[in-house]
Amino acid sequence: DQQVKQNSPSLSVQEGRISILNCDYTNSMFDYFLWYKKYPAEGPTFLISISSIKDKNEDGRFTVFLNKSAKHLSLHIVPSQPGDSAVYFCAASENTGKLIFGQGTTLQVKP
């Protein structure tokens, strides 16, 4: 039973354009959501998070949107840069330490 789903395994965008990565979840008890970025042969690195009491959080080029009624969150990267090319994981937490991760979306930003 996949509680966190990233239905798009890959996404390709042109440099300078917007990248939108999507994530759906099924557990309404999740109260904290995060995005991690992963390069090959490295561990995931934290990117941005959002609490369930908010619907938007912005940090530089990265913005996360949360739609609780739809159980959906998205990560927007504007403008996209070639260095953003990586695997992006959505994760959720139910006020416990453990994170439940999605399957990941591979983003390729073309110069």
Partner 1 sequence: GAGVSQSPSNKVTEKGKDVELRCDPISGHTALYWYRQSLGQGLEFLIYFQGNSAPDKSGLPSDRFSAERTGGSVSTLTIQRTQQEDSAVYLCASSLTGLGDTQYFGPGTRLTVL
Site of interaction with partner 1 (CB under 8 A):
4, 6, 32, 34, 36, 41-46, 49, 89, 91, 93, 95-104
CB of 79 to partner 1, least distance (A): 25
Distance CA 58, CA 93 (A): 20
- Taking Cα atoms as reference points, which of 63, 86, 95, 75 lies closest to residue 24? 75
Nearer to partner 1, 20 or 99 (CB): 99
CB of 42 to partner 1, least distance (A): 6
